Amino acid sequence: MDLGFYLLQFLTGLAYASTLFLLSVGLSLIFGAMGIVNFAHGSFYMLGAYLFYAFTRGQVEGFWGGLLSVLAAGFVIGALVERLLIRPIYARPEEYQILLTYALLLILEDAVRFFFGAAYRSFPMPEAFSSPLFVLGSPFPSYYLFLIGLAALFALLLWGFLYRTRLGVWIRAATQDREMLEALGVNVPLLYTAIFGLGIALAALGGAALLPLQAATPGMAVDAVISAFIVVVIGGLGSVWGALLGAGLIGLLQAFGILLLPEWAMVFPFGLMALVLLLRPWGLLGRPPAVRT
Amino acid sequence: MRWVLGLVLAVWVGLWILALSLGPVRAQGQQPIKVGALFILSGNFAGYGKSGSQGAQLAAEEINARGGVLGRPIQLVVVDDQGNPEVGVREARRLILQEKVDFLFGIDSSSVALAVAPLTDEYKIPLVVTHAATPALTEQCRPYVFRTSNNARMDAWAAAALAATLPVKRWANIGPDYEFGRVSWQDFITRLKQLRPDVEVVSEQWPRFGSTDYASFITALMRARPEGVFSTLWAGDMVIFARQAKQFGFFNQVKYFVNPVGAALEVLAPLGKETPEGLLVSARYWFLYPNTERNRAFVEAYRKRFGEYPSYNAQEAYAGLHMLARAVEKAKSTQAEAVRRAFEADGGLVYDASEGRKRMRPEDHQVFEGLVWGYTKHTPDYPFAILDRMRIIPARDTVYPTQCKR
Amino acid sequence: MRLALLLAALALLGPFMSKYGLKLASEALILGLYAMAFNLLFRQAGLLSFGQAAFFGLGAYAMALLTQKAGWPFLATLPASLLVSALGALIIGFFSIRLTRIYFTMLTLAFAQLLYAIAHKWYAFTGGDNGITDLRPPGLLGESLPFYYLVLLAFALAVIFLAALEGSPFGYALRALRDNRARAEAVGVDGFRHLLLAFVISGGLSGLAGFLQGALQRSVFPDYLFWTRSAEAILSTILGGSGFFLGPAVGASAFLLLRVVVQAKTEYWPFFLGVLLLLMVLFFPRGLTGLALRLIKWPTEVRRGASGG
């Protein structure tokens, strides 16, 4: 019986880790490829959840279509934001990019409140996931398995994309030497627009995919971006595997930490973050930044 | 260049003078009684604040329709305190010093209430709280702070009174890790142990307030095999927890899930038909109880005005404003001292609200009233779960000792 | 000289302001002080710190805890606040300054959030999210006008100190490090020591602001340590223009004024602020002060152009 329980707890840890990964992978990607810390990341995540609800009107039949629509909408919105707002300030010091994303956070929060109101929005569990899986006798929601699978799929796809495709090579090159890449004839501005769109699309999809097991609330953006920051600070800004590692560590720490110290559940992510910051400030899988003058 | 900078500075100073001359236009004629209401109108708990401000609005309209208080109309000024204590203090000051309100009202967040409370002494303006539930507020024994809604300790004692009658020995807790969650559990389990010394605690889980994933907590809790679980998860946390726990079969295993703030419409409405049945919940006011003419009239009036059923915060604000009006009428004045005496006299002001009789305890200015609990059940009449097999906990079961003296 | 005139004007204005005006003015000066402390790092040293709230909060909590729990007289807690926040800055700075640019920013943010979590969780000591209330300074300082003068005095001293710092060899060293760290270190400037000292000074002054704010608002909450508090210093600075010495202070009063006016009329203040910030970043990176200067210079520039210059 004990083994069954620990296995179950492990799965819940993975489940939580998956939700965190889906939330933060876009943040890490955008930073890794463009060097922008997107404070509005949580806001796009929130937007994804609300848009999912709006597209499907809360009807469970629209589940798959809704997810795809949100992915597409997220990409378009991200691309527009990059093209219209971020591109003009690339020449400026990067502090201004942070401030711009912070402005977006403020604007989106009120925009969502204005259009969607104050009530919480939920989405019913799709039929395909309504019966639980049984882990050595205990029920485990199959939707969590879907999320774990989705997270794993994203991680693999992103890795494949970044390391096995031409586009991915360009993206990684852009982080190291943008001018050289442009000199080689790559349309870097367009590339940046696409990456930003992708990162936002991932954030939005994260928000949508989590809706059947969570709720869309008007204040979820700030909470989400802090959680995402903790994950990427631990894992390493810019590393997709780092986001996975960070999410995994937090998830498992919570799952097993509360068996030993239930009083301190709230502190675990911060404690882990503090430890990483003291020992490896650029994150577990991050690269120590090159000294630039 | 020098004069340029000087001009900038002059403009700066000028802006200040402009700011200081900002203020409402003094209306001629009958001076209204101004009530400054602070509610959370943005962020995660905006739904609660919206209910509260709507309830207050309805009450103000009713009072003015019958001629106002002491012949003067009530003017409600509603501001958003964002659940942030500093915003609350700043806005409260603005209401007192600029808007020249006679009373402060409302307040959802306990920390905002605690931050604003010292201002009542500083400016001698009474504050009537209709939501913020920390017992610490009234235990400060301030002369001009009054609470017309029940607080978290009363909720916990009512829950304990109910729990004592249940065939449950093994109890567990899952609550948000902040003062409200902590103190509610402490009050509950201490009181329960007084009433039923044989109960034992098998597990305590403390997810961060605002958590979005409870999976690990749910399985850990289920492993301890509790018969009853007490919880003060509320708002979005409760919605999320209920959905996730249901998926784990939590409510099949746990016989009694007791939540004193689980019957809020802000929680039941989004859950809709997915609400697990048989949850033993309360919410300070349930719109279908009591089935009196007066309560039905209130619910109808609220529905007509705002297009939704009144959540508990709406009724508490509504009743609170009416009770304040009653006190002012009794005092024949809006002066803080007179109003205080009116609230305290004759063993404490009594007001028959739509939910039942409210009586204010003179020592600590806390209102005591009966609390309604029930088991969630789905019916075709409403899109959300309603309370079935209702149990009323009488006020006397929730009266705890206070350190305040009069 | 201009500075002295400004301070004198503010002092003279005191007795003419309403109680509400005095509270607003005090808050503006405190926010201005806080923003100027931030700008020391941002403009002089080229560091974007997103964790100033840590020191602001430390100063506030030091005052609150010493007056509430240890019964210290209000003014006696002032040096303690400065010390605690400077010490906090020393520790956090020691770890953060090793890194540059974004990593530095993220680290300061992380540390501030960590302190926030501790203040929130350590209920027995800090009162958790209930905070510490009833912090009215006793006697004369509890009144609006004398407190305003205290704030003005603190602001004045801090600003004079910062102005002196700017013109000192230390200030030159900081700017040299900002412009080209390798070269500055090549001529013997110890980058780490200088930046750390700047960080500590900035932290101490932020703590002073926190000390005053806690007394003004009569209470201290974990919210003082939350990252949005750090954002306020940054926003004020950007709004006023980080390139000008008094820019942050100008921005702070504009920020406060706007917030008070807008919040009185609508509940969509974040949207308003977001749009304003967006405009500032996209079109007016030199802030309000820069904008004002440009407007004032504009007629003269047109004239010059017309004469064929």
Reported confidence tier of residue C19, pLDDT bands at 50, 70, 90: confident
Touching C: which chains, 3+ CB pairs < 8 A?
Answer: A, B
Contact B247 A139 (CB under 8 A): yes
In a domain, A290, yes or no: no
In a domain, A51, yes or no: yes
E strands in A110-241: 133-135, 138-140
| In contact, A92 and A222? CB cutoff 8 Å | no
Q: What is the pTM of this model?
A: 0.90
**Minimal CA separation from B118 to chain C, in Å:** 6
**Minimal CA separation from A282 to chain C, in Å:** 7
* pLDDT higher at B160 or A117: B160
- Determine the pLDDT at residue B29: 45
Q: Is C124 on the interface with A (CB under 8 A)?
A: no
- Determine the pLDDT at residue B3: 56
Between CA A169 and CA A175 the distance in angstroms is 10
- Determine the pLDDT at residue C14: 83
User: Tokens 């609470």 appear where?
Assistant: B147
Question: Over the stretch B368-383, which tens digit does the pLDDT of each residue have?
Answer: 999 999 999 999 999 9
CATH 3.40.50.2300 fits B153-283+371-398, yes or no: yes
Q: Which residue of A has its CA nearest to B47?
A: A118
Question: Over the stretch C87-115, which tens digit does the pLDDT of each residue have?
Answer: 999 999 998 888 877 788 888 988 898 89
**Domain boundaries, given as residue ranges, for chain B:** 31-150+286-369, 153-283+371-398
Between CA B59 and CA B260 the distance in angstroms is 26
Contact B90 C217 (CB under 8 A): yes
Q: For residue B338, is pLDDT > 70?
A: yes
| In contact, B76 and B102? CB cutoff 8 Å | no
Q: Is A1 on the interface with B (CB under 8 A)?
A: no
User: Tokens 């003279």 appear where?
Assistant: C12
Q: How far, in Å, are B99, B158, B170, B262 from residue B164 at the CA level?
A: 49, 10, 12, 19
- Determine the pLDDT at residue A164: 85
Reported confidence tier of residue B389, pLDDT bands at 50, 70, 90: very high
In a domain, A160, yes or no: yes
Enumerate residues 234 to 293 of chain C having a beta carbon within 8 A of any beta carbon in chain A.
Answer: 234, 238, 268, 270-271, 273-275, 277-278, 280-282, 285
First-to-final CA distance of chain C: 34
Identify all chain A residues contacting B217, using CB atoms and an 8 Å cutoff: 258, 265
Q: Give the range among B51-55, B194-198, B338-342, C143-147 with minimum mean pLDDT.
A: C143-147
Q: For residue C79, is pLDDT > 50?
A: yes
Q: Give percent of chain C with pLDDT exceeding 90.
A: 44
- Determine the pLDDT at residue A183: 85
In a domain, A58, yes or no: yes
Between CA C84 and CA C78 the distance in angstroms is 10
Of A220, A224, A265, the CB nearest to B208: A265
Q: Is A104 on the interface with C (CB under 8 A)?
A: yes
Structural domains present in chain C: 2-306 (1.10.3470)
Q: How far is CA C68 from the centre of its chain?
A: 25
Between CA C2 and CA C131 the distance in angstroms is 41
Contact B91 C263 (CB under 8 A): yes
Reported confidence tier of residue B10, pLDDT bands at 50, 70, 90: low
Q: For residue B365, is pLDDT > 80?
A: yes
- Determine the pLDDT at residue A161: 86
In terms of average pLDDT, the best of A190-194, A271-275, B106-110 is: B106-110
* pLDDT higher at A150 or A238: A150
List the domain range (segments joined by +) for residue A22.
8-279
Q: Give percent of chain A with pLDDT exceeding 90.
A: 48
In a domain, A138, yes or no: yes
- Determine the pLDDT at residue C137: 86
The mean of the pLDDT values for chain B is: 92
Of A9, A122, A132, the CB nearest to B216: A9
Mean pLDDT on A58-85: 92
Reported confidence tier of residue A1, pLDDT bands at 50, 70, 90: low
Q: For residue A274, is pLDDT > 70?
A: yes
Touching B: which chains, 3+ CB pairs < 8 A?
Answer: A, C
Size of interface A-C (CB pairs under 8 A): 111
Identify all chain B residues contacting A212, using CB atoms and an 8 Å cutoff: 243
Q: For residue C304, is pLDDT > 60?
A: no
Q: Is C123 on the interface with A (CB under 8 A)?
A: no
Contact B98 C20 (CB under 8 A): yes
Identify all chain C residues contacting B42, using CB atoms and an 8 Å cutoff: 267, 270
Reported confidence tier of residue A280, pLDDT bands at 50, 70, 90: confident
Reported confidence tier of residue B13, pLDDT bands at 50, 70, 90: low
Q: For residue A285, is pLDDT > 50?
A: yes
| In contact, B323 and B354? CB cutoff 8 Å | no
Quickly list DSSP for B267-319: HHHHHGGGSPTT-EEE-S--TT-S--HHHHHHHHHHHHHHSSPPPHHHHHHHH
| In contact, A10 and A144? CB cutoff 8 Å | no
Q: Is A89 on the interface with C (CB under 8 A)?
A: yes
Domain B31-150+286-369 shares a fold with domain B153-283+371-398: yes
Q: For residue C298, is pLDDT > 70?
A: no
Q: Which residue of A has its CA nearest to C266?
A: A110
Q: Is C100 on the interface with A (CB under 8 A)?
A: yes
Q: Count the domains in chain A.
A: 1
**Minimal CA separation from C3 to chain A, in Å:** 29
Contact B178 C27 (CB under 8 A): no
Q: Which residue of C has its CA nearest to B83?
A: C223
Fold for domain B31-150+286-369? Answer: Rossmann fold (3.40.50)
User: In this predicted complex, what is the ipTM?
Assistant: 0.91
Contact C110 A229 (CB under 8 A): yes
The mean of the pLDDT values for chain A is: 88
Between CA A185 and CA C104 the distance in angstroms is 34
Three-state DSSP state, A131: coil
Identify all chain C residues contacting B46, using CB atoms and an 8 Å cutoff: none
- Determine the pLDDT at residue C309: 41
Identify all chain A residues contacting B266, using CB atoms and an 8 Å cutoff: 119-120
Mean pLDDT on A64-82: 95
Mean pLDDT on C46-68: 93
